[in-house]
Structure 1
Amino acid sequence: MYTAFLIFALMCWTAHADHHHHLCRSSNMTGFLSVMGNMAEIKAAGQFTYDSQNKRLRFQTNTSIPWNVTTDQDLLVFFDEGIIYKIDSKNQSCEKKLLQSTKHPFDLPADATYMSTMISGSVALEGEGMKFQIWSTPTPNLKGNAMMCLTMRCLPVSTIYVTESSMFMFSNMNVELDVKDPDLLTVPSFCQGLPAEEAPEGTAYSFFDEII
């Protein structure tokens, strides 16, 4: 599994490195998110809205896209508060759960380690390459390793996780640097006042458990 991870990295990233680095902070974002498993299967795909200042995320999958995605999901996550809502707008119902881990693929943690700055595509041809940073991030709750790629303005492009049993990649596409619809980041009226369910003892429930 780790070999596959390294091969993937080498195929995708042309080694044109420098030693400049600084700790990034993501912007507000609206865009499309896909999650791919280690057998190239699509785990989830849909629209997301992310408030980087308040660390709030709305992710809504879309089963109508031609990517063989069969599961509808509507998640509202308050990372700072450690709360995730699983929303069913059709039935006006909701589940509210406590997060034991607030790690997620939209924000570079303070304990990340800078690895390199590289160019994907062509170095010589104008407009045919994208310069980006690569960071390694610890993933204690996932029991594995992660590599995060960001543009030079700290826009997350992709994050690859390798665990003891699998590999999966989060990719952001068609991103716009604002919150298009702030109402998506508020708790629906039919979800308000619910008690939060705790995860079973000994588990480290996180956003990833709902995706992968």
Structure 2
Amino acid sequence: MRALVLFACLSVGCLAQTPQQCRSPPLLTGSLSVSTQSEKLMTFAKYSYDALGKRIRLTEFGSYNNKTFHLDVLLLYREGVMYKINYRNHTCCKKPLNVDFHPLAIPQNASLLGQVVLGSSSGPGQGVLVNTWVGEMQLKKGTAKYMSTVTEFGCVPVSTLFHTDRHGWVVTSFFNNVMGLVDPQRLIPPPFCEGAQLEEEDGEDPVTFFSLF
């Protein structure tokens, strides 16, 4: 009997491995909120994320510099273009997207800050096991610090704190995540965008989690 108990304990010890850096599912649908330390930005968005095709769709509502805004954008990184879509009057602005696609992932040089249970560990289904990672990332315009929390199982994003000299701390929280694309059509430009001509950039748009890179 003692040998059986010892074997069970050793088995559990072998299964309890140290968390490893991971990459989020390539196809995700959900919602997120973004706020900045300067309080210039507060926004909520629905997103569709396709790491395989390097496409992201964001439909945002929020305030930026004390002005409310609604932004519906389709980011096509392979084509290097961004569509600003307005379904109310069926117009579409096509602009250059001069940034690289960065998949949702924990970088290999990130350090594990800790592993905790969100909610409760008292009973099944009452909590979620998550890992929090910290590190620095080299960007085109300097270095950024980050702290990212993802689920232990599935590497689904939970929250990210991101700091740059330009924006200060930016906090992103993910919720209602679903693995896969609930509506794949959202990642295809609507028909009224077909004739849109490529325009030059006309200033800075409200910052989003995905535009920080």
TM-score, scaled relative to structure 2 = 0.71
Deviations 1:111-149 (A, max 9, x none): 542311511447864434532242535241353323332
Using the alignment, how far apart are the partners of 1:89 and 1:204 within structure 2? 22
| CA gap 1:196/1:176 in 2 versus in 1, 3 angstroms | same
The question of whether the paired residues in 2 share the 8 Å contact of 1:62 and 1:69 is answered with no
The question of whether the paired residues in 2 share the 8 Å contact of 1:84 and 1:207 is answered with no
The question of whether the paired residues in 1 share the 8 Å contact of 2:26 and 2:51 is answered with yes
Whose Rg is larger? Answer: 2
Give the structure with the larger strand fraction: 2
| CA gap 1:122/1:85 in 2 versus in 1, 3 angstroms | closer
Using the alignment, how far apart are the partners of 1:102 and 1:175 within structure 2? 24
| CA gap 1:155/1:27 in 2 versus in 1, 3 angstroms | farther
Using the alignment, how far apart are the partners of 1:164 and 1:209 within structure 2? 15
The question of whether the paired residues in 2 share the 8 Å contact of 1:29 and 1:176 is answered with yes
Shift of 1:59: 0.9
The question of whether the paired residues in 2 share the 8 Å contact of 1:93 and 1:190 is answered with yes
1:66-81 correspondence runs (5 A): 70-81=68-79
The question of whether the paired residues in 2 share the 8 Å contact of 1:138 and 1:145 is answered with yes
Deviations 1:132-179 (A, max 9, x none): 242535241353323332212121112221111421112111111121
Match of residue 114 from structure 1: 110
5+ unaligned residues in a row in structure 2: which ranges? 1-16
Shift of 1:101: 1.5
The secondary structure found in structure 1 opposite 2:88 is coil
- Calculate the aligned-residue CA RMSD, in Å: 3.5
Matched, 1:149 2:145: no
Using the alignment, how far apart are the partners of 2:93 and 2:141 within structure 1? 23
Aligned length: 187
Using the alignment, how far apart are the partners of 2:160 and 2:188 within structure 1? 26
The question of whether the paired residues in 1 share the 8 Å contact of 2:75 and 2:97 is answered with no
Matched, 1:161 2:162: yes
5+ unaligned residues in a row in structure 1: which ranges? 1-17
The question of whether the paired residues in 1 share the 8 Å contact of 2:29 and 2:179 is answered with yes
Q: Percent identity?
A: 24
Q: Report 1 or 2 for greater relative contact order, CA contacts < 8 Å, sequence distance ≥ 6.
A: 1
Shift of 1:185: 0.8
Using the alignment, how far apart are the partners of 1:134 and 1:209 within structure 2? 17
The question of whether the paired residues in 1 share the 8 Å contact of 2:130 and 2:149 is answered with no
Using the alignment, how far apart are the partners of 2:206 and 2:100 within structure 1? 6
| CA gap 1:113/1:81 in 2 versus in 1, 3 angstroms | farther
| CA gap 1:26/1:161 in 2 versus in 1, 3 angstroms | same
Match of residue 179 from structure 1: 181
Deviations 1:80-138 (A, max 9, x none): 3322111111121111122222255x6227x5423115114478644345322425352
TM-score, scaled relative to structure 1 = 0.71
Using the alignment, how far apart are the partners of 1:124 and 1:207 within structure 2? 36
Using the alignment, how far apart are the partners of 2:100 and 2:48 within structure 1? 17
